[in-house]
Amino acid sequence: MKSGAEPNTALLPRGAALFDRIDYRLIETPEDRDNLYLMRYRAYLHAGLIDPSESRRVTDRFDEAPNTWNFGVYVDRELCSSVRIHVLTSEWRTSYTTEVFGDVLHPRLDRGEVFVDPCRFVADPEKHQRFPELPYLTVRLAFIACDHFNADTGLAMIRTDHQAFYRRIFLHETISPEPRGFPGWPTKKAVLMASDVRNQREKVLTRFPILRSSAFERRMLFERSNPRAAVHRPVLLSTSRNADVVVSAVGTAR
């Protein structure tokens, strides 16, 4: 679906008009899945995170988890980037993050907290060079999910060299006691970062109003006709859509 924030393009800085050219699509068909797994492979291979393989695809068991939403970000109908969103509750705890940092998260899930856990954030290497705004427009989906599911906390299990991006955009803080082995990449270490969504939301939106969304956009993205996970919580948040948009370039890979 088209993004719903509808910024005033006359006021956008250089390159931010890309916002009006993107579609967010839930990855569900076999063809879309295959294209996603191929793009992951190209992105990870280009970043030196994996070795070449005959399958030329990257997938894992979490792609089919009931608390998972895989999204593609399309520019002019071409798949350019993707992110996988996990919603973690006391009933639904499946994700790489809970496997690696379960000692940190399970006690909080036991208390009834709700987390939005984005992962598998990748961009097509060539298109990332053409569209440097892609990281912002992709991680925007995680912020939208926090609103839709009325999350207490937004998470990010990321490589240690990507902490500055999440601290700057989402005001994340590192909550893991030490870096730990990154799933699938034994030479990389990961940290767990988090943001108190309820208290930080307006501060984040003031700095990056492109993250705003409408209730309609959130429903179109996250409500499924036959939902696999009953994780929705009431949303009582305002959704002002009139704001100037500031987008700057940054490169990340997860």
- How far apart (Å, rounded) are the C-alpha atoms in residues 72 and 118? 13
* pLDDT-derived band at 8, boundaries 50, 70, 90: very low
* Burial of residue 229, with CB atoms counted within 10 A of its CB: 0-12 exposed, 13-18 middle, 19 or more buried: middle
DSSP 2: B
pLDDT at 238 over 90: no
pLDDT at 249 over 90: no
pLDDT at 166 over 60: yes
Provide CB contacts within 8 A for 65, sequence distance 6+: 86, 94, 95
Across 230-240, average pLDDT: 42
pLDDT at 74 over 80: yes
The answer to whether residues 192 and 102 touch, using CB atoms and an 8 Å cutoff, is: no
φ and ψ at residue 126, rounded to 5 degrees = -70, -40
Amino acid identity of 202?
E
Across 131-146, average pLDDT: 92
Q: What is the pTM of this model?
A: 0.82
More confident residue, 19 or 102: 102
pLDDT at 114 over 80: yes
Got the DSSP string for 191-225? EEEEEEHHHHHHHHHHH-GGG---HHHHHHHH--S
- How far apart (Å, rounded) are the C-alpha atoms in residues 155 and 195? 7
- Partners of 190 in the β-ladder: 159, 180
Which residue stretches of the chain are H helix? 30-46, 96-100, 102-110, 125-130, 134-148, 163-170, 197-207, 215-222
* pLDDT-derived band at 76, boundaries 50, 70, 90: very high
- How far apart (Å, rounded) are the C-alpha atoms in residues 65 and 94? 7
The answer to whether residues 97 and 108 touch, using CB atoms and an 8 Å cutoff, is: no
- Partners of 83 in the β-ladder: 71
Residues 184-216: tens digit of each pLDDT: 776 788 999 999 999 999 999 998 888 999 999
- How far apart (Å, rounded) are the C-alpha atoms in residues 38 and 31? 11
Residues 172-181: tens digit of each pLDDT: 999 998 999 8
Structure-block tokens of residue 148? 């839709």
- How far apart (Å, rounded) are the C-alpha atoms in residues 157 and 162? 10
Residue appearing with tokens 């790489």: 96
pLDDT at 99 over 60: yes
pLDDT at 62 over 70: yes
CA 203, 132, 244, 13 dihedral sign is: positive
Residue 225 is predicted with a pLDDT of 57
- Separation of CA 142 from chain center: 4
pLDDT at 75 over 90: yes
Provide CB contacts within 8 A for 93, sequence distance 6+: 105, 106, 109
* pLDDT-derived band at 1, boundaries 50, 70, 90: low
